[in-house]
Amino acid sequence: MSDNDATKQVARNAPIELLILLEEILRNHRTNMLLVTMIITLGSSTARKRKRGGGRFTPEVMIEAIPAHVKQLDRLVRLSDRSCVDNLRMDRNTFGRLCRILRDRAGLVDQKFVTVEVQVAMFLSILAHHKKTRVVGHDFMRSSETVSKYTHMVLRGVLTLHDIFLVKPEPVGDDCVDFRWKWFKGCLGALDGTYIHVRVPIGDAPRYRNRKGQISTNTLAVCDRQLRFVYVLPGWEGSAGDSRILRDAIIRPLGLKVPKDCYYLCDNAYANSEGFITPYKGVRYHLKEWGHGSHAPQTREELFNLRHSKARNVIERSFAVLKMRWGILRSPSFYPIEVQTGLIIACFLLHNFIRTHMEVDPYDELVGEHEEEGYGSDHDDTVVPTITTVAPTPLWTKKRDDLATAMWANGTNI
């Protein structure tokens, strides 16, 4: 082949090789751009995660924090009963029982980094000390979102167990030797209401304003002789009209079922009707009216009122122990009113659980002799208005008279 022919052949092949080279360059460019795009995407995603949570919730960091979490829980519920009671309002055995029943009956389960024990401990810390979620999160080394999440989960679990935690009262029998109760055969306990302060939107404030001008919710409750609650109804407003309607509904058997021939002790805001025995009106009643040095009862009505007051004081002591135990009941919280109502019920239910399973309740002693004898009562200002639409029944008026006569016949020793 001549030189001219070789030159022509190279000239014909040059465009093909150039095209191949250009194609290779473009392919490499697309690959490089794809890699660059992936790197940019991953980098921006990591930056967003760090911006939201500061990188605290990565599995590696959580795993490294587990020993500190375990140590914190040990300090609360495994070192001593005193520490557990101070922080969670129950001893170690009762705390373990509560966690077990919430697992078995309410369906709480261990999460990847938060056990049921930690969930319950955070919830009890909020109830006991009225701490905000940020404070509890700091104590347990969790985020506020985590604390809020499990607070609502445990709350729902506790509320589903109301049929287990609420007690069934036993009437006073003929063999009762307690001088406070032996006069009231068939009595199931005492009934009354108490104010619990809440926080509501400004527009709803008038409906929740009580007679003292405070924003609160009226909570109607029934307790037995062991200061355990039988019936709880929170969440009704402080206005007089609503209270009267509600009280009428509760007095009727439709609201609170009372076994035949049994009854609850109530104050004069109620009517002396079926299932409810009240003191005589116009006669000394409150224990502080019988203070030290006052003369002894002079009539059967006075003697009945004094013994009625001593027995019914159990409901005031129950409220006192309840509010001393749970700090969240002593001041308004920032939860929505529906959640606040649920927390109030949970406090009553957990109070019952503690009273049932703890051998010694330290808050009994803290109530003191003054509360035991009826001083410091909040009943100078009645929680709800007097019932006017439910009239006393002759049968139960006679029953009260018979009790008063029997007491008087047995002497005035009080």
The residues spanned by each domain of the chain are 1-55, 59-160, 170-409
Q: What is the pLDDT of residue 64?
A: 59
pLDDT in tens, 81-111: 888 899 999 999 999 999 999 999 999 999 8
Residue with the larger pLDDT of the pair 260 and 200: 200
pLDDT in tens, 118-148: 999 999 999 999 999 999 998 888 899 999 9
Nearest to 318 by CA among 363, 356, 273: 363
Beta carbons of 268 and 281 less than 8 angstroms apart:
yes
Q: Is 313 exposed, middle or buried (0-12, 13-18, 19+ CB in 10 A)?
A: buried
The angle at the Cα of 410, spanning 408 to 414, to the nearest 5 degrees, equals 80
Residue with the larger pLDDT of the pair 1 and 245: 1
Overall average pLDDT of the 261-284 stretch: 88
**What residues does 146 pair with on adjacent strands?**
none
Q: What is the pLDDT of residue 250?
A: 45
Q: What is the pLDDT of residue 213?
A: 86
**How many whole angstroms separate alpha carbon 307 and alpha carbon 287?**
9
What is the pLDDT of the chain when averaged over all its residues?
80
Overall average pLDDT of the 261-272 stretch: 88
Residue with the larger pLDDT of the pair 364 and 51: 364
Q: What is the pLDDT of residue 161?
A: 95
Residue 295: pLDDT band by 50, 70, 90 thresholds? confident
Q: Does the structure show a pLDDT above 70 at 252?
A: no
Q: What is the pLDDT of residue 288?
A: 72
Overall average pLDDT of the 180-188 stretch: 93
Q: What is the pLDDT of residue 248?
A: 46
Least confident of 132-136, 250-254, 344-348: 250-254
Structure tokens at 184: 């009231």
Residue 196: pLDDT band by 50, 70, 90 thresholds? very high
Structure tokens at 104: 């078995």
Q: What is the pLDDT of residue 211?
A: 82
User: 3-state DSSP call for residue 313?
Assistant: helix
Overall average pLDDT of the 290-296 stretch: 65
**How many whole angstroms separate alpha carbon 194 and alpha carbon 330?**
12
Least confident of 41-55, 277-291, 332-346: 41-55
**How many whole angstroms separate alpha carbon 256 and alpha carbon 249?**
9
Least confident of 14-18, 290-294, 343-347, 372-376: 372-376
Beta carbons of 190 and 266 less than 8 angstroms apart:
yes
Task: List CB contacts of 283: < 8 A, sequence separation 6 or more.
Answer: 299, 301, 302, 305
Q: What is the pLDDT of residue 130?
A: 95
**How many whole angstroms separate alpha carbon 137 and alpha carbon 401?**
58
SS percent in the chain: helix, strand, coil, step 5: 55, 10, 35
Q: Does the structure show a pLDDT above 50 at 379?
A: no
State the amino acid at position 275 in one-letter form. G
Percent over 70 (pLDDT), the chain: 71
Task: List CB contacts of 194: < 8 A, sequence separation 6 or more.
Answer: 218, 219, 221, 319, 378, 383
- DSSP H or E segment with residue 93: helix 92-104
Residue 371: pLDDT band by 50, 70, 90 thresholds? low
Q: Does the structure show a pLDDT above 50 at 376?
A: no
User: 3-state DSSP call for residue 3?
Assistant: helix
Residue 244: pLDDT band by 50, 70, 90 thresholds? very low
Beta strand pairing call for 216-223 and 263-265 = unpaired
Q: Does the structure show a pLDDT above 90 at 49?
A: no
For the CA atoms of 17, 19, 20, 23, the dihedral, rounded to the nearest 10 degrees, stands at 160
Q: Does the structure show a pLDDT above 50 at 10?
A: no
Q: What is the pLDDT of residue 369?
A: 47
Q: What is the pLDDT of residue 249?
A: 45
